[in-house]
């Protein structure tokens, strides 16, 4: 066929009429233009919204929670970093707009390549502009806080772990998505500018794969979900783990509960039995009057100087506030040196323990009295466990457990149809796409806990993970692989790992 | 007539005059009817967006091809990253349609199917050049539409036509 015949054939081909009237096209286009504008605006709004949220959260910390100057500097660095990040993303996107619709192919490819390169650079340098600045801010804010060292170390570990994960995700996205597109565009542009043929490796997937008619009926994949309990196993480990570390850090940091001071023992001060009796009687008297609510009578036990310093009204107010501990059930002591070296007694009240330090004059009048919440037992692994499994904390555990189930359920729903098997190959989640049977050169197992996955390895060495023993309906999975996978395909070796079926 | 309705009128006129050209480009770059409809809409959207850049009607022909080819190449690249890249039924659909027809156009349809099968195997730039050549544009017009120099157009088109003829012969065997 010569050129003219070919052109003639081309011009005369019958074409399927599109199913839109001019008016419908117009309306659809206007709708689409609005959507496009909304979409562009939404992306910018999303970045700005993230900035606003960071400003509100860290601004709140700045003005209310963290009053320490160093922490406040950290808050300011974090706020500044977030604003910088938002600006950088929006600025990069806007400084590389797509070519105008009427641009030539070469201009259009160049504009697209510039945009992809900018995105690629952005992802490649994510450590310096996206991760490091806010992390420095948050670390300064954390280490400037008057919290326990354990809390600071665990927060630092969490921040660094999250950063490492985000860094890995970005590097992966760059390598898997942007670099191939960049290479493809470079190849197209190079060919257009020099007239040289395209580099085949970069453009191979721009062509359709042709299938024989016989295969057409088997293209619809048989789909499989990952079983809910398999997802829940990991979900629950994660959520219960969160609970454990949260409660552990709360228990360690709970100043009211533990003390590093040694427990109060018997008196270290050598006092005579007579002295001890004298103080015990006075302490008993004070306790009885407190239990009776007769605070005015307590005031009458004070010596002249104390009475002057603490007149009846102040004394009544003071003991009324102290009544929050409930009635005194037991007095122990004298136990140790108390406040200012006075004689101390342990008061076991209904709602806690108090240490009462007394000083008596020679007439057995109270010349000094001091109350403070009693120090608790020292930190031991036993007491830590007891503190952690208090009913209040166990209630939280129930909440976290339910949270784990909810998370697993949501994850289960969004991973539905996670694997499909067809005559073409293995269909994975949309983002990962389809791997043709012939593309899979090697299959290797990966076992975590009792769940086995498979690495599908292409000739290029690119590895893709595929759930295997976690998939539901093992008998149907076996049948699908048996029917569709080519004979001697390496995936068949792993059929025996599926649950034995009747 | 206000400016907006004048634009709408200009747009509708341009689209209806060039409908077949756009549809042929869609058929080259999209491999099934659903994709063809999507690409057709996408091209119409880009024509609407770029209409203000079209100064003189006499340049509309090259301008329209630029928009259509650019949109189509971008469309193919985006589709190529999606999971459904392999499920292109055009070949099967085309074959099925040909098999179903018992008309006098049968011979032409057969040759057309061979031509499309061969075109599908070209790369996006070769497709653009071959399409514009089949649309009867001169080398200069093709160069103007694609931004590729006229000399390179000659070289690349020669290579693409040779490849196309080889593929068509292979298909007819």
Q: In CATH, what number is assigned to the domain containing residue B140?
A: 1.10.10.10
A65 vs A265, residue with greater confidence = A65
Q: In CATH, what number is assigned to the domain containing residue B62?
A: 1.10.1740.10
Lowest-pLDDT range, A20-29, A122-131, A430-439, B154-163? Answer: A20-29
Same domain assignment for residues B79 and B94: no
Yes or no, beta carbons of B73 and A210 under 8 Å apart: no
CATH number for the region A273-374 comes to 3.10.450.50
Q: B78 in contact with A at a CB cutoff of 8 Å?
A: no
B107: closest CA of chain A, how far (Å)? 11
Give the per-residue pLDDT at B129.
92
Q: Give the start-to-end residue ranges of the domains of chain A.
A: 29-207, 273-374, 415-497
Same domain assignment for residues B50 and B104: no
Q: A372 in contact with B at a CB cutoff of 8 Å?
A: no
Same domain assignment for residues B26 and B71: yes
3-state secondary structure of A272: coil
Residue pair A133/A81 in contact (Cβ under 8 Å)? The answer is yes
Give the per-residue pLDDT at A211.
47
* CA gap A405, A229 in Å, rounded: 9
Same domain assignment for residues B17 and B71: yes
Yes or no, beta carbons of A7 and B136 under 8 Å apart: yes
Residues from chain A that touch B54, judged by Cβ atoms under 8 A, are 102
Q: Do A273-374 and A415-497 fold alike per CATH?
A: no
Q: Which of A102, A203, A211, A432 to mutate to test the interface with B (most CBs of B within 10 A)?
A: A102
Same domain assignment for residues B111 and B82: no
* CA gap A300, A286 in Å, rounded: 10
Q: Which of B30, B34, B70 to mutate to test the interface with A (most CBs of A within 10 A)?
A: B70
Give the per-residue pLDDT at A61.
80
Residue pair B145/A107 in contact (Cβ under 8 Å)? The answer is no
Q: B113 in contact with A at a CB cutoff of 8 Å?
A: no
Give the per-residue pLDDT at A194.
85
* Domain end marker among B87, B121, B146: B87
The number of domains in chain B is 2
Among the partner-chain residues B15, B84, B128, the one whose CB lies closest to the CB of A105 is B128
Residues 6+ apart with CB under 8 A from A317: none
Q: Which of B86, B101, B143 to mutate to test the interface with A (most CBs of A within 10 A)?
A: B86
Residues from chain B that touch A9, judged by Cβ atoms under 8 A, are 108, 111-112, 115
Q: Residue A206 — pLDDT band, cuts 50, 70, 90?
A: low
Same domain assignment for residues B5 and B80: yes
Interface of A with B in 244-283 (CB under 8 A): none
- A333 Rama sector, left if φ>0, alpha if ψ -120 to 50, beta otherwise: left
- DSSP class of residue A210? P
Residues from chain B that touch A218, judged by Cβ atoms under 8 A, are none
User: What are the structure tokens assigned to B157, written together?
Assistant: 């088109």
Q: What are phi and psi of A372, to 5 degrees?
A: -155, 150
**A415-497, which class in CATH?**
mainly beta
Average pLDDT of the residues of chain A? 80
* Domain end marker among B55, B72, B87: B87
Q: Residue B100 — pLDDT band, cuts 50, 70, 90?
A: very low
Q: What are phi and psi of A225, to 5 degrees?
A: -100, 160
Same domain assignment for residues B2 and B40: yes
Lowest-pLDDT range, A186-190, A274-278, A335-339, A347-351? Answer: A335-339
Q: B150 in contact with A at a CB cutoff of 8 Å?
A: no
Residues from chain B that touch A432, judged by Cβ atoms under 8 A, are 83
* Domain end marker among B62, B87, B112: B87
* CA gap B160, A405 in Å, rounded: 58
Q: B138 in contact with A at a CB cutoff of 8 Å?
A: no
A421: closest CA of chain B, how far (Å)? 13
Q: A19 in contact with B at a CB cutoff of 8 Å?
A: yes
Q: What is the spatial order of strands in the sheet that A419-421 belongs to?
A: A222-224, A419-421, A425-427, A434-436
- B95 Rama sector, left if φ>0, alpha if ψ -120 to 50, beta otherwise: alpha
Same domain assignment for residues B168 and B98: yes
Q: A217 in contact with B at a CB cutoff of 8 Å?
A: no
Same domain assignment for residues B160 and B146: yes
Interval A398-450: pLDDT, tens: 888 998 999 888 888 877 778 888 877 888 765 456 788 888 889 998 888 77
Interval A43-101: pLDDT, tens: 667 777 878 888 888 888 888 766 788 888 998 999 999 999 888 888 888 888 888 88
User: What are the structure tokens assigned to B4, written together?
Assistant: 């907006």
Average pLDDT score over residue span A481-485: 88
Lowest-pLDDT range, A163-167, A200-204, B49-53, B103-107? Answer: B103-107
Q: Is the pTM of this model over 0.80?
A: no
Q: Contacts from A429-437 at CB under 8 Å and sequence distance 24+?
A: A430/B82, A430/B83, A431/B83, A432/A464, A432/B83, A433/B81, A433/B82, A433/B83, A433/B85, A434/B83, A434/B84, A434/B85, A434/B86, A434/B87, A435/A464, A436/A209, A436/B86, A437/A484, A437/A485, A437/A486, A437/A489
- DSSP class of residue A103? S
Same domain assignment for residues B8 and B72: yes
Q: Which residue has the tokens 């199913």?
A: A19
CB pairs under 8 A between A and B: 182
Q: What are phi and psi of A238, to 5 degrees?
A: -65, -50
Same domain assignment for residues B82 and B11: yes
Give the per-residue pLDDT at B89.
41
Among the partner-chain residues A101, A213, A434, the one whose CB lies closest to the CB of B67 is A101
Among the partner-chain residues A105, A112, A197, the one whose CB lies closest to the CB of B159 is A197
Handedness of CA A261, A263, A264, A265 (dihedral sign): negative
Asked if residue A459 has a cis previous peptide bond (ω within 30° of 0), the answer is no
* CA gap B120, A209 in Å, rounded: 10
Domain that holds residue B17: 1-87
Query: How distant, in Å, are the alpha carbons of A43, A271, A322, A342, B111 from that of A359?
Result: 71, 13, 19, 5, 115
Yes or no, beta carbons of B37 and A106 under 8 Å apart: no
Interval B116-161: pLDDT, tens: 878 877 888 888 999 999 998 999 999 988 999 988 999 999 999 8
Residues from chain A that touch B23, judged by Cβ atoms under 8 A, are 15-16, 18
Same domain assignment for residues B36 and B79: yes
């Amino acid at each position: 066929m010569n050129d003219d015949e070919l052109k003639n054939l081309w011009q005369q081909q019958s074409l399927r009429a599109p199913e839109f009237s001019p008016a419908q096209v117009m309306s659809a286009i206007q709708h689409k233009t609005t959507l496009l504008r909304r979409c562009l605006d939404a992306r910018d709004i999303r970045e700005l919204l993230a900035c606003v949220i960071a400003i509100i959260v860290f601004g709140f910390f700045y003005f209310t929670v963290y009053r320490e100057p160093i922490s406040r500097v950290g808050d300011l660095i974090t706020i500044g970093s977030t604003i910088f990040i938002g600006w950088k993303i929006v600025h990069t996107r806007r400084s590389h707009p797509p070519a105008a619709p009427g641009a030539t192919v070469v201009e259009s490819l160049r504009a697209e390549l510039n945009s992809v390169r900018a995105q690629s650079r952005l992802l490649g340098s994510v450590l310096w502009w996206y991760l490091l600045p806010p992390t420095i801010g948050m670390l300064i804010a954390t280490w400037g806080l008057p919290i326990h060292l354990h809390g600071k170390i665990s927060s630092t570990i969490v921040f660094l772990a999250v950063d490492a994960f985000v860094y890995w995700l970005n590097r992966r996205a760059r390598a898997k998505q942007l670099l191939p597109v960049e290479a493809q565009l470079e190849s197209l542009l190079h060919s257009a500018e020099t007239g040289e043929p395209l580099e085949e490796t970069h453009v191979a997937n721009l062509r359709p794969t042709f299938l024989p008619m016989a295969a057409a009926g088997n293209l619809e994949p048989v789909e499989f979900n990952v079983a809910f309990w398999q997802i829940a196993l990991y979900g629950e480990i994660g959520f219960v783990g969160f609970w454990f570390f949260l409660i552990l850090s709360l228990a360690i940091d709970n100043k009211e509960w533990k003390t590093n001071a040694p427990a109060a023992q018997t008196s270290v001060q050598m006092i005579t039995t007579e002295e001890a009796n004298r103080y015990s009687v006075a302490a008993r008297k004070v306790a009885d009057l407190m239990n009776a609510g007769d605070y005015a009578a307590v005031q009458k036990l004070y010596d002249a100087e104390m009475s002057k310093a603490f007149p009846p009204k102040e004394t009544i107010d003071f003991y009324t506030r102290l009544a929050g501990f409930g009635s005194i059930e037991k007095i122990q002591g004298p136990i140790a040196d108390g406040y200012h070296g006075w004689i101390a007694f342990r008061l076991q009240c209904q709602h806690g323990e108090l240490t009462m330090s007394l000083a008596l004059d020679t007439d057995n009048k109270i010349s000094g009295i001091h109350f403070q919440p009693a120090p608790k037992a020292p930190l031991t692994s036993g007491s830590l466990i007891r503190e952690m499994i208090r009913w209040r904390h166990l209630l939280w555990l129930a909440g976290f457990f339910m949270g784990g189930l909810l998370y697993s359920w949501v994850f289960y729903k969004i991973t539905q149809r996670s694997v499909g098997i067809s005559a073409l190959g293995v269909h994975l989640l949309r983002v990962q796409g389809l791997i043709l049977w012939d593309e899979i050169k090697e299959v290797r197992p990966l076992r975590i806990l009792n769940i086995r996955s498979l690495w599908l390895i292409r000739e290029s060495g690119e590895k893709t993970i595929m759930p295997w023993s976690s998939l539901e309906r093992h008998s149907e999975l076996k049948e699908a692989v048996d029917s569709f996978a080519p004979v001697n395909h390496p995936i068949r070796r792993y059929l025996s790992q599926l649950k034995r079926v009747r | 007539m206000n400016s907006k309705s004048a634009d709408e009128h200009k747009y509708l006129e341009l689209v209806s005059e060039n409908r077949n050209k756009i549809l042929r480009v869609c058929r080259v770059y999209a491999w099934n009817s659903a994709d063809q409809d999507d690409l057709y809409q996408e091209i119409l959207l880009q024509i609407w967006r770029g209409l203000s850049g079209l100064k003189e009607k006499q340049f509309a022909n090259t301008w329209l091809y630029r928009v259509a080819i650019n949109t189509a190449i971008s469309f193919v690249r985006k589709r190529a990253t999606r999971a459904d890249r392999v499920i292109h039924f055009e070949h099967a659909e085309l074959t099925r349609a040909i098999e179903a027809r018992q008309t006098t156009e049968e011979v032409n349809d057969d040759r057309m199917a061979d031509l499309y099968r061969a075109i599908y195997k070209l790369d996006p730039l070769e497709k653009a050049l071959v399409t514009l050549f089949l649309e009867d544009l001169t080398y200069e017009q093709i160069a103007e539409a694609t931004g590729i120099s006229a000399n390179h157009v000659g070289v690349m088109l020669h290579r693409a036509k040779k490849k196309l003829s080889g593929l068509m012969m292979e298909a007819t065997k």
